[in-house]
Amino acid sequence: MTVLQVPGVANLRDVGGIPVGASRVRGGRLLRSGQLARLTPDGDALLRQRVRRVVDLRDDSEVRTEPSALSEVRTTRIPLFLGSTASFFVQDMDLAGMYRHLVYDSSERLAQALRVIAEGEPTLVHCTVGKDRTGVTVALALSAVGADRQAVVADYALTASLLPKARTEAVVEYFRTHMPDSRHAVQLATESPAPVMSALLEEIDERYGSVAEYVRQAGLSSAELDALRATLVE
């Protein structure tokens, strides 16, 4: 994978180069990032050179608060959480629970996101931070086409180190002050532990036989799965 520097975008990278058997993921086909609200004019021009489609996984309130500054790129909105993201903090849910919620309660929407990627245009998938909704979606897309499991998990785990340090420090201080009894809030907001993603993908394998079979049952046809593979794999 390649970390990209575009002004105004955090946690932006191209997952091209991840091994898939004897081959690898194509460069320039699938990118991931945090929200695009702070994209500068120069960043806008740079990003438009790289992507032709955007999949925005945020809910309505997030989009209203931080509308995308990316221009002239077709965007498909697929809100993954059926409720507010704040509810996970109120429930003090851990990351593993959040990801299971995504996989089992938003499977059709995850399949819809993979369907957009399978259309073959250079696509950027993002949410607000680019960690959880984006992390699960990208991990499923890569795993569905047979990408190396360790590399998929490593890509997910990289996120925490790419989040702006000032943001992470501010988030930690906020939760310590306003939610001192929360056990999982800091993890939900700032961490991307490899064991959590590894366990999620293993659980999908156990329940469905493979991630490819999971996305089929979620609504992706065999033809669309073939198209996803043709899009992503050299």
C-beta of residue 21 within 8 angstroms of C-beta of residue 43? no
Tell me which residues are annotated as active site.
Answer: 127
CB atoms within 10 A of CB 191: 17
Q: How far is Cα 142 from Cα 31, in angstroms, rounded to an integer?
A: 12
Nearest to 227 by CA among 119, 76, 147: 119
Q: How far is Cα 153 from Cα 201, in angstroms, rounded to an integer?
A: 9
Alpha-helical regions (H) of 75-127 = 86-90, 95-105, 107-117
